[in-house]
Chain A
Amino acid sequence: MSDALQSLSRFIPELILMGALAVVIVADLITQRRPLKSSTDLLNGITLVGLFAALVTSWQALGTVEAQSLFASMLADDGLLGVFRPIFCLTSIVVLLLGMRSKELEGVRLGEMLALLLTVTAALMWMAGSVNLVMIYLSLETVSVASYLMVGYLSSDRLSNEASLKYILFGAVSTGAMLFGLSLLYGMTGTLDLYGVRAALAEGAFGPGLLFVLILIAAGIGFKIAAAPFHFWCPDVYTGAPTPVTAFLSVGPKAAGFAVLIRFFYLGMAEPAGGGALAPVGGADWQMLLMMLAVITMTLGNVAALLQTNVKRLLAYSSIAHAGTMLMAACVLSVEGVQAIAAYLAIYLFMNLGAFAVVILAHRVTGSFEIDSYAGFWKRSPLLTVAMGIFLFSLMGIPPFAGFLAKWYVFAAVINAGLGWLAVIGVLNAAVAAFYYVKVLRVMVIDQETGPTPALAFSRLDLALLVLLVVPNVLGLLFWGSLDRVTEYSQTLLELG
């Protein structure tokens, strides 16, 4: 019991989020009869304060590098969790701001949505901290259930319902497969603790049987990060969900999925082999498995994105492709790979949410998500076009934008690990990706609009949001090298236990 009480002091961001959740639920009930506008403003305010407090405390916690296991080795509060916590809080804050400006969510009671957003943010942190198979499953399931509900929030909208149902069906199958894999792994090793799993696997060779178990577990993680061939839900869900929710799904659960991937494979399935490198234990070559996933995911995402005419669908496939790029870094089997993934996610947060912000603001005037409806945008709003240009060039990975830094970290890690052929496939994919990002820009700048074009009006909130998202993308290269500190944190990853 004293251990649990002691752990609470390292658990403050999560506690704040849970407190905010309770306040939002009560406030939602109290303001049920009040006019929609005032009650929504109040609830948005409470949620924003909660998320901001969680961001500040998790930022402060980043300073204490010393790793510690919490709640009888359920969670590890180490460098990895420290890096991911602010990522989750920032994502949720941006998504909340996007939700305030989204036309789709206008006139809808947001109480439950905000409660779900707070819950899912805390659950993402639990995912990123889990070092126990039960915790991995439970936190992943909490994120999934909250996501299903957020996707289907617009219950009068047929597309939203359909997306939610598809998401649940795919989610049920892949978490089922994962749970089955986890139970087999428990049977093989006799423990639920990832450190114990590693110790048990190091003693004997399990070979192909273990590989099958790992494929089952990879299905559950692959579903969360939308890696092919577990991505089938992704385009339909991204298209049908309210756009702020889509923006959230493309960053939050993906980031947490990668955190679980790193924890599970780098901690439970590998042992340190000196010099920051790792070697698989238990006689299963999961590095090959991850490399295959990376190549399929990248290629399929990019090629399918070429054919899209709906911008949300295009961003769905682009997010699949980005998951493939990050999976490449996961094949590296060294601390450098962890560093590359964390750096990529931190930058991806700003560029991808930025692209979705432009989509949501443009939807306010065009009322459409078709790429064709962006024709002549340059004349209607040069500001929004330039912002979209910055986000898309950053997603392409073109210097001087931050996306270049992200790609640089990944490719450097892959090449240093001697996987030159993988890097070549990655570069080819980046070239393909340039086509569809440029296609959007071409429509915005060159194509002529047909019919009436109402002018765009920005509120102060829109401008603040765009500045918040554009600045990190433009100034990204100034942070060159500062992300090396991530290494410092991630080295503590393997010290626990």
Chain B
Amino acid sequence: MESMASAAIFYGVAALVLGSALYVVVGKNLVHSAFALVAAFFGVAVFYVYLGADFLAGAQVLIYVGGILTLLLFGVMLTNRIYNLNLRSGAIQVVPGALSAGLVFALLVWIIQSVDWGAMDVGDPGPTSESIGRLLMGDYLLPFEIASVLLLIALMGAAMLVRRRGGSS
């Protein structure tokens, strides 16, 4: 009974993610699309919970739903020339796009079916943040540091683009 309920929630969330992700792509109004993206990101966080990745689920909510999306919405809604902007997006080349998306989908389904993924039963999920922290400061120290270099230049680049625009005009 419990597993039935669990499966029902899973498929419900999956439908939510797929539906809202589809709306993000085909929706014509940018603000509506951004709100649909909130739902999609939130659903993905639920998947992480299902996989026993508590830290990742929390990070997903904090960073994607809380940070990036709020920023995106602020950006869209607080732009002072909002009434002059055309906040609509259209779709071009629907048929080739749908065909190639369908082809990729079929290929992925076939791969997921045919490959032996070596899945194991890890038992009851426990808290993961401690081991993630140890890995980041241990084996994955170098990627951790390189990520900070990447963020540094991304920050610098963002400042560079904004300042130049403001300065020259």
Contact = CB atoms under 8 A, between A and B. Distances in A.
A4 interface: yes
Size class of B's contact patch?
Answer: 20 to 34
Contact of B150 (A25, A73, A138): A138
Interface string A184-199: 1001101000000000
Nearest to A156: B168
Contacts of B160: 112, 149, 153
Contacts of B165: 155
B59 interface: no
Contacts of A134: 140, 143
Interface string B103-135: 000010011001111100000000000000000
A252 interface: no
Interface stretch (B28-36, B72-80, B151-159): B151-159
4 shortest A-B CB distances, which residue pairs? Answer: A71-B142, A149-B157, A155-B164, A72-B139
Nearest to B116: A204
Nearest to B119: A187
B150 A141 contact: yes
A148 B147 CA distance: 17
Interface of A: 1, 4, 18, 25, 70-75, 112, 115-116, 119, 122-123, 126, 132, 134-135, 138-139, 141-142, 145-146, 148-149, 152-153, 155-156, 184, 187-188, 190, 204, 206-209, 212-213
11 contacts: A72-B140, A112-B156, A119-B152, A119-B153, A123-B149, A142-B150, A155-B161, A190-B118, A206-B115, A209-B115, A212-B111
A74 B164 contact: no
Nearest to A113: B160
Given A72-B141, A142-B149, A204-B116, 9 more contacts: A74-B140, A123-B146, A126-B146, A139-B146, A142-B150, A149-B161, A152-B161, A153-B160, A207-B114
Of B117, B142, B150, B161, most A-chain CB atoms within 10 Å = B142
B127 to A, nearest CB: 22
Contacts of B96: none
A149 B165 CA distance: 14
Contacts of B90: none
Nearest to A143: B150
A74 B142 contact: yes
Contact of B153 (A73, A142, A187): A142
A4 B153 CA distance: 24
A208 B107 CA distance: 10
B107 A212 contact: yes
B154 A145 contact: yes
Interface of B: 107, 110-111, 114-118, 138-143, 146-147, 149-150, 152-154, 156-157, 160-161, 164-165, 168
A4 B160 CA distance: 34
B134 to A, nearest CB: 11
Contacts of A204: 116
Given A212-B107, A212-B111, A135 B142 contact: yes
Contacts of B168: 155-156
B143 A74 contact: yes
Nearest to A126: B146
A142 B164 contact: no
A23 to B, nearest CB: 14
A188 B117 contact: yes
A149 B154 CA distance: 9
Contacts of A188: 115, 117-118
B158 to A, nearest CB: 9
A374 to B, nearest CB: 32
Contacts of A25: 156
B77 to A, nearest CB: 24
A138 B146 contact: yes
Contacts of B154: 145
A18 B138 CA distance: 21
B106 to A, nearest CB: 11
A112 B157 contact: yes
A146 B150 CA distance: 8
A25 B160 CA distance: 13
Contacts of A115: 153, 156
B110 to A, nearest CB: 8
A152 B160 CA distance: 10
Contact of A119 (B107, B117, B149): B149
B138 to A, nearest CB: 7
Nearest to B139: A72
A116 B160 CA distance: 11
A304 to B, nearest CB: 23
B136 to A, nearest CB: 11
Nearest to A118: B153
Contacts of A70: 142
Contacts of B152: 119
B153 A138 contact: no
A353 B137 CA distance: 40
Contacts of A152: 161
Contacts of B107: 212
Contacts of A126: 146
Nearest to B144: A138
Given A72-B138, A190-B118, A212-B107, A116 B143 contact: no
Given A155-B165, A184-B111, A142 B146 contact: yes
B161 A145 contact: no
Pick from A112, A119, A132, A207 the residue with the most CB of B within 10 Å. Answer: A112
Contact of A4 (B141, B146, B149, B161): B141
A301 to B, nearest CB: 25
